[in-house]
Amino acid sequence: MSTLTDTRNRPLRDLRISLTDRCNFRCTYCMPRELFGAEHLFLPKRELLDFDEIERIARIAARLGVTKLRLTGGEPLLRRDLDVLVARLAAIDDIHDICLTTNGSLLTAKRALQLKTAGVNRVTLSLDALDDERFKAINDVGFSASKVREAVDNAVAAGLAPVKINCVIQRGVNADQILPMAAAFRHTGVVLRFIEYMDVGASNGWRMDDVVTAREIVDTLRTRYAITRAPAAQPGETANRWHYDDGAGEIGIIASVSQPFCGGCTRARLSAIGELYTCLFGVHGRDLRGPMRSGANDAEIAALLAGIWRAREDRYSEQRGEQTAGRRDGDGDGRVEMSYIGG
Ligand code: SAM
Ligand code: SF4
Ligand code: SF4
């Protein structure tokens, strides 16, 4: 295992790969229709990394210490022949875990099984409300919550376990869905994770007041359920784990805003066109595609990647307090969008 570490002694362990900047949803907090409407120019296909290029970067990253890949986007299931890519990634030595984050709209029973067979270990689905009308308003394309629940069932049936659900909570939008969501997924083995709404990108008009903190989420859950904090399963875990005292299962809370976890952040992100970001809140990525397309060999790409990681200083969430002090709410300072580099 490589001992490559950054300036804060954090190893490189996870690579999140954005497979496309496109999405068939227009979640109001991620790809608001006003900014991602008919006029929006998505990347042309030739700009996207092809499967050879993605596999090559993953292979080089694995040699530098990466053991876990997460395929995301945009909506990763929009990428044709995804199972072919997965099989190639699963064959890389030292990659032990391949996860997928999806909105579930295209996760049929057949596709779930294909992905499992190809080598996806786990799936995280996003579902921000149980109430159909509310969910349709959030995804802004009229997709119903029950269809996402079918996709959850498809993932479970395919053995993509443990299936997790991401639920981003925004004040005044879906905080009243915390208890119904908890009720729906207790006793199912599916791990529901509430996520604090983050100031990613520049298009969602984020304000600190919109954030429902982990503390508030726990307090809400405790109005109905007895829950106890569980120790982290592994170091650097992003979610705070909780258990229902009655044995109904696990629940997670990702407190990226109120309890930042930069100290244990071992993640790099690769955009769909091959830029490497060392933080979700990055402004500029470093281009790996250019050198690859102009003939750099593996050793040169590895040296480039290692150099970027060694110089990494990012701890945006820990510094958010200081940074937002001098900034207007909703002013993204040029930060890259979540749909562009993946969650
Ligand atoms: N389209 C896929 C999906 O929705 O699962 C994958 C990409 S999406 C960007 C990944 C995750 O990021 C989703 O669970 C989404 O809810 C979350 N996300 C997007 N914007 C966010 C924000 N501002 N704060 C917190 N989570 C966010
Ligand atoms: Fe698409 Fe996922 Fe963003 Fe929603 S959160 S717009 S599904 S990329
Ligand atoms: Fe990692 Fe950046 Fe998030 Fe901190 S703010 S946990 S460094 S991605």
Q: How far is CA 207 from CA 44, 314, 330, in A?
A: 33, 22, 6
Q: Which domain holds residue 239?
A: 14-341
Question: What is the number of structural domains in the chain?
Answer: 1
Residue 294 counted as domain residue: yes
- Residue 268 within any structural domain of the chain: yes
C-alpha–C-alpha distance, residues 32 and 336, integer Å: 15
Residue 3: inside a domain: no
Residues framing ligand 3 (Cβ under 6 A) = 260-262, 265, 267, 279-281, 314-317
Residue 8 counted as domain residue: no
Q: Is the distance from CB of 12 to CB of 67 less than 8 angstroms?
A: no
d(CA 190, CA 100): 15
Within a domain: 54: yes
CATH number for the domain harbouring residue 226: 3.20.20.70
- Backbone angle region of 186, left / alpha / beta, with phi > 0 → left and psi within -120 to 50 → alpha: beta
Does residue 112 lie within any of the structural domains? yes
Residue 1 lies in a domain: no
Beta bridge partners of 70: 16, 99
For residue 25 and ligand 2, the question of a CB distance below 6 A is answered with: yes
Best of 21, 22, 25, 336 for a ligand 2 pocket test (most atoms within 8 Å of beta carbon): 25
Residue with CA at minimum distance from ligand 1 atom 20: 30
> Would you say 130 and 184 are in contact if contact means Cβ atoms under 8 Å apart?
yes
Let me know: does 58 contact 119? Beta carbons within 8 Å.
no
- Tell me if 28 sits within 8 A of 140, measured CB to CB: yes
Residue 329: the pLDDT is: 46
Substitution candidate for ligand 2 out of 40, 71, 75 with most atoms within 8 A of CB? 75
- Give pLDDT, residue 341: 72
pTM of this prediction? 0.95
Q: How wide is the angle at C-alpha 152 spanned by C-alphas 151 and 156, nearest 5°?
A: 115
Q: What is the pLDDT along the chain (343 residues), one digit of tens a residue?
A: 668 999 999 999 999 999 999 999 999 999 999 999 999 999 999 999 999 999 999 999 999 999 999 999 999 999 999 999 999 999 999 999 999 999 999 999 999 999 999 999 999 999 999 999 999 999 999 999 999 999 999 999 999 999 999 999 999 999 999 999 999 999 999 999 999 999 887 777 899 999 999 999 999 999 999 999 999 887 777 899 999 999 999 999 999 999 988 999 999 999 999 999 999 988 899 999 999 999 999 999 999 999 999 999 999 898 876 655 444 444 556 778 888 777 6
In a domain, 52, yes or no: yes
